[in-house]
Structure 1
Amino acid sequence: MNKFLLLSLIMALLMGCTKDTVRNNNPYIPSYSFSYVINLNLNPSLTLPIVPVTLTEPSGISMIVMKISDTDYRAWNANCPNQYPSSCSKLSVNGVNAKCSCDALEYSLFTGIGTAQYTLIPYRIEILGNNSIRVYN
């Protein structure tokens, strides 16, 4: 009985693990690899908590970055996640939400969750020191 219980627990743990590529497989927005270092001295709004900032890195990838706390930032792709890129598919910041101008859907900048099928596409963030962060995927 103990072996069965242990085996069941191990299987449940293994089945609960997923990769980001499965969770964030969005057919509308292409996934490009990039790494962008943001100097916080040049973007003072990012030193304030809960103030979302829209940035475009040199290769043209737009993102919304928000500081949550001294050790936590969030970054999201700035395109509407439920439609192909077009002239109206850029997200606009609406408080702590991002709003799509094409269909008026809103997404939380804390969780990325909205009411449509796909969530915002998250980017990873590494805090490099007191004055810079790196956004990448």
Structure 2
Amino acid sequence: MKRSLLCIALSLMFMGCSGDDEIRNNPYLPNLNFTLRLDLSLPEYNNLNFPGNSYTTYNYGINGIVVYNLNNDQYMAFELTDPNHVIQECSWLEVTRTEAKCSCNDGNKYTIITGQRLEGQGEYSLKPYRVRRAGNVLEITN
């Protein structure tokens, strides 16, 4: 009896897993391998020592990366390329405070706090990158 219940539970668990990788993988943005280290003791990154501030670099990612300090324990990092159309000259995002707006005049606007789309069209949110804090260093990777 226990064995039957275990088999049923495992079967339900496996059937509950969806194979929707196509939905999660954005067809417009390639996966790049990189590691970016930001030493928060350096003046260039000082803003990231305070919640609500961000840092933008155009030297990593496709069109750049924005890093946002949520609460000194959580940092968010997102790709600065509009995830809802093919990469083109105008698909870079311009960051103003906590919003990133596409320069293609398509009305797409995103929040750099969660990556969600605020305005415009499309099914994808901003491409997130992993952020790990080790002491005074933030490590951002894909």
The TM-score with structure 1 as length reference comes to 0.79
Amino acid corresponding to residue 54 of structure 1 in structure 2: T
CA 1:18–1:128 in structure 2 vs 1: closer, same or farther (change >3 Å)?
A: farther
- Aligned residue pairs, count: 135
CA 1:50–1:22 in structure 2 vs 1: closer, same or farther (change >3 Å)?
A: farther
Stretch moving more, 79-88 or 7-16? 7-16
Runs of 4+ off more than 3 Å: 1-14, 16-19, 21-24, 57-61
CA 1:128–1:9 in structure 2 vs 1: closer, same or farther (change >3 Å)?
A: same
Write the distance in 2 (CA, Å) between the matches of 1:72 and 1:135.
12
CA 1:60–1:25 in structure 2 vs 1: closer, same or farther (change >3 Å)?
A: closer
> Secondary structure of 2:88's partner?
coil
The TM-score with structure 2 as length reference comes to 0.77
Out of 91, 107, 110, the residue aligned to residue 113 of structure 2 is: 110
Write the distance in 1 (CA, Å) between the matches of 2:13 and 2:47.
40
Structure 1 residue runs of 5 or longer lacking an equivalent are none
Q: Hey, what does 1:51 align to over in structure 2?
A: 53
1:24 deviates by 3.7
Write the distance in 2 (CA, Å) between the matches of 1:69 and 1:25.
28
1:58 deviates by 5.7
1:127 deviates by 0.3
Is the contact between residue 81 and residue 120 of structure 1 (CA under 8 Å) also seen in structure 2? yes
CA 1:136–1:104 in structure 2 vs 1: closer, same or farther (change >3 Å)?
A: same
Structure 2 residue runs of 5 or longer lacking an equivalent are none
Q: Hey, what does 2:141 align to over in structure 1?
A: 136
CA 1:109–1:7 in structure 2 vs 1: closer, same or farther (change >3 Å)?
A: farther
> Secondary structure of 1:80's partner?
coil
> Secondary structure of 2:25's partner?
coil
Q: Hey, what does 1:119 align to over in structure 2?
A: 125
Amino acid corresponding to residue 114 of structure 2 in structure 1: T
Amino acid corresponding to residue 112 of structure 1 in structure 2: G
Write the distance in 2 (CA, Å) between the matches of 1:23 and 1:124.
20
